[in-house]
A and B are shown apart, each in its own frame.
Chain A
Amino acid sequence: MIGEIQRFTRAKGKSLAVGALALLAAAQALASNPPTSQVNTTGLRVTDTEVYVGQLHSATGTMAISETGSIQAEQLAIEQINASGGVLGRQIKIIQEDGASDWPTFAEKAKKLLVNDRVAAVFGCWTSASRKAVLPIFEKENGLLYYPTFYEGLEQSKNVIYTGQEATQQIIAGLDWIAKEKGAKTFYLVGSDYIWPRTSNKIARKHIENVLKGTVVGEEYYPLGHTQFGSLINKIKLKKPDVIYSIVVGGSNVAWWKQLKAAGITADKQTILTISVTEDEVLGIGGENVEGFYSAMKYFQSLDNENNKKFVAAFKAKYGPNAVIGDVTQAAYLGPWLWKAAVEKAGSFDVDKVVAASPGIELTTAPEGYVKIHPNHHLWSKTRIGVWQRNGQAKVIFESDLIEPDPFPKGYQ
């Protein structure tokens, strides 16, 4: 008992000293920072020196392949924001939760972050399935989610800012380019069998048939995780399309490209345009297997501008010289910066005020160049065409104008 009291006093003495220091720091901070009672009227976890945000991705399970890059990029952005003085003078603290590639787990962790931790914003999700799982919770608890992945569109929520491209932005610019550049008239659409490839191909088909006046000579879907594409490749050879339009994802992706190469389908004989291959995927596929084929993305690691050079250098300094950066990784990096800009414009962490301040927010420091938040919560962005090289990097050969996001495209549904 006596020991305990002694320990207690000693601890108290120490904590008093720390407390005094903290008070001093707080007093200094308060001199310049708006008081917490003013910037946080809804009970979020904000103190005079700190603000808590959540991070909700799959660090384990099958989706860890894709989501690791997003986790890293968001942490890098937050580290940089903190180094430059934080948000409204407050350092950002991350509460990281693991969605474990399991959609109910995502929902449960989202609830924990919003209800127990009262975080001011969440950076997270990757698949549409995980976003759909957390969406009702974000709407009910009035949270704020920054979602990084390019996706099928057909969604708009007050509580979500979509930092990746919606389908029409990515698809239409790419198809226009290939039709003009290659004189393509016939297309063979291939995809993995779930919502994103199916919705995207639906948009692609409408655009090919109604706008480009071309023909879709085949449209095929294979189960996620399918590993044998021999029959499909023979069917494609039978139809001789000008362009193969590919949205194969996940474990199938590697098998698909390796088997195309093995079947003698190389870039000098066949044009392939894909919207599901970024630098991350090429790591697994191998540059020699996609050499000469095209991807339509808003970002490539090789983009030649000052913002991107700084971003790539910082990313490699933190995660090693061999780290690669794909489209979604860059989009994830935008999340914390967009949030900071909106909070500062609103002068408040309150979700309603941040949401209201978001439309019109511009980011001129984005690695992809320039982005701006549209009133529909998606980003204005450019679409680029990259041609893959043996070393796993893409050479950017085309860049569109800034494209308006249109998550509910008329004439494409």
Chain B
Amino acid sequence: MEGISISEFGSILMMQGFNGLSVFSVLLLMALGLAIIFGQMGVINMAHGEFLTIGAYTTFVFSYLTQTYFPSLMSTYFLFAIVGAFIFAGLVGLLVEWLLIRHLYKRPLDSLLATWGLSLIMQQIFRSTFGAKEVSATLPDWLMGSWQPTDTIDIPLNGLFVMGLTIVLTCLVGLFMYRSRLGLKMRATTQNRVMAGAVGINTAMVDRMTFVLGCGIAGVAGAAFTTIGSTGPTSGSLYIVDAFLTVVFGGAQSLLGTLASAFTIAQTNSTLEFFMTGSMAKVITLLSIIAILMMRPEGLFSIKVRK
């Protein structure tokens, strides 16, 4: 480790700390939509990754259109793309719920297979529409490069952006679930579907809204991930394992659990990666999660649910 001064070492430790937080935001963002759908409805949505991909392609299309027709708006188009991704992914979610998911609420294992098939179909649709090769949305300059508070510290701007977006989105979802009328209905339906129906809640409508919300959030995540990852027909599937891991480890029905689990996994993985090879770090992280899940099958946080 020759040629490294104490202050440089300090900078690297700081950047490494930021990296942990950045991975945490990414994990939370990719898991949030899944947590809502899986946690609130019990539907295992294997096509979650493809809803991320919808968000990513929406960003690409926005970028392409802006560049072609309104080049002067290049610095701000990304914000519109995020909103567009939410709306578009949500609409596709609405269609999917109506055509497929609502027929499978009582058959969770079948929904697993059906959504997996759906993910394959969606991948091929992306491939036929946008071509098999990856595409790249042109990012505005303020999202590229790094912020340098000192000479030796580089804080990635895209990491900061994803972090900010995750905080805003998590707060919005939290407010929605615990402060709004529809959120109350969702939680009521999760806790006791029959009773919720009996007091006049339209549970079918609540299910639909929940699914749409989850898909919309996945779309936003996909849009944000264009800043750190690839946009291609199978890009979304890169995130699916980690997303499920985060949700299951956190305890499926708890938003707080998802938060805690994303934080734990991110910090563990990021720290281990610093001291050993990437593949080894992954192995140890996964083994620890399995061990903990064997002791606590319900995940880190679980709320009592009437079955």
Which A residues fall within an 8 A CB radius of B? Answer: 59-60, 62, 64-65, 67-69, 193, 220-223, 225-228, 230-232, 234-235, 237-240, 251, 253-255, 258-259, 261-266, 280-281, 283-286, 288
Contact = CB atoms under 8 A, between A and B. Distances in A.
Interface in B149-184: 154, 156-159
A251 B232 contact: yes
Contacts of B156: 230, 259, 262-264
Contacts of B229: 227, 251, 254-255, 258
Given A228-B270, A258-B158, A281-B134, 19 more contacts: A62-B234, A64-B233, A69-B133, A225-B238, A226-B282, A227-B228, A232-B278, A234-B12, A234-B16, A239-B1, A240-B4, A251-B230, A253-B230, A254-B229, A258-B229, A259-B156, A264-B145, A280-B133, A284-B135
Given A68-B131, A251-B238, A240 B3 contact: yes
B136 interface: yes
Interface string B118-145: 0000001001000111111011000011
Interface in B1-38: 1, 3-4, 9, 12, 15-16, 18-19, 22-23, 26
12 contacts: A193-B278, A221-B277, A230-B159, A232-B278, A251-B232, A254-B136, A255-B230, A263-B156, A281-B134, A283-B133, A284-B134, A284-B231
Contact of B136 (A65, A230, A262, A285): A285
Query: Quick one: which of B229, B232, B235 has the most chain A CB within 10 A?
Result: B229
Nearest to B279: A193
B234 A251 contact: yes
A76 B277 CA distance: 43
Contacts of A251: 229-230, 232, 234-235, 238
A12 to B, nearest CB: 41
B274 interface: yes
**Nearest 3 A/B pairs, CB to CB:** A284-B134, A264-B154, A230-B19
A220 B133 contact: no
A226 B242 CA distance: 10
A175 to B, nearest CB: 22
Contacts of A230: 15-16, 18-19, 22-23, 156, 159, 270
B192 interface: no
A261 B135 contact: no
B64 to A, nearest CB: 12
Contact of A283 (B4, B127, B134): B134
Contacts of B159: 230, 262
A69 B131 CA distance: 11
Interface of B: 1, 3-4, 9, 12, 15-16, 18-19, 22-23, 26, 124, 127, 131-136, 138-139, 144-146, 148, 154, 156-159, 227-235, 238-239, 269-271, 273-274, 277-279, 281-282
A221 B279 contact: yes
Contact of B145 (A67, A222, A240, A262): A262
B278 A263 contact: no
Contacts of A228: 23, 26, 269-270
A231 B230 contact: no
B279 A286 contact: no
B4 A262 contact: no
A82 B133 CA distance: 28
A197 to B, nearest CB: 12
A261 B145 contact: yes
Nearest to B277: A220
Contact of B146 (A193, A220, A239, A262): A262
A68 B132 contact: yes
A238 B273 contact: no
B274 to A, nearest CB: 5
Contacts of A253: 230
A223 B228 contact: no
Contacts of B135: 283-284
B228 A258 contact: yes
Contacts of B9: 238
Given A193-B279, A223-B282, A284 B230 contact: yes
Query: Quick one: which of A64, A68, A230 has the most chain B CB within 10 A?
Result: A230
Nearest to B148: A264
A220 B144 contact: no
Nearest to B158: A262
Contacts of B22: 230
Contacts of B127: 60, 64
A246 B273 CA distance: 18
A89 to B, nearest CB: 35
B71 to A, nearest CB: 16
A244 to B, nearest CB: 15
Contacts of A281: 134
A239 B16 CA distance: 14
B274 A235 contact: yes
Nearest to B17: A234
Contacts of A286: 136, 138-139
Contacts of A240: 3-4
Nearest to B13: A234
Nearest to B230: A254
Given A226-B278, A232-B273, A263 B227 contact: no
A348 B100 CA distance: 57
Contacts of B124: 60
A64 B158 CA distance: 29
A188 to B, nearest CB: 13
A368 B233 CA distance: 31
B132 A65 contact: yes
Contact of A263 (B154, B269, B270): B154
B15 A237 contact: yes
Contacts of A69: 133
A123 to B, nearest CB: 18
A357 B231 CA distance: 45
B232 to A, nearest CB: 6
A223 to B, nearest CB: 6
A226 B280 CA distance: 13
B140 to A, nearest CB: 11
A234 B279 contact: no
Contact of A262 (B1, B157, B269): B157
Nearest to B4: A238
Contact of B134 (A65, A222, A263): A65
A354 B134 CA distance: 38
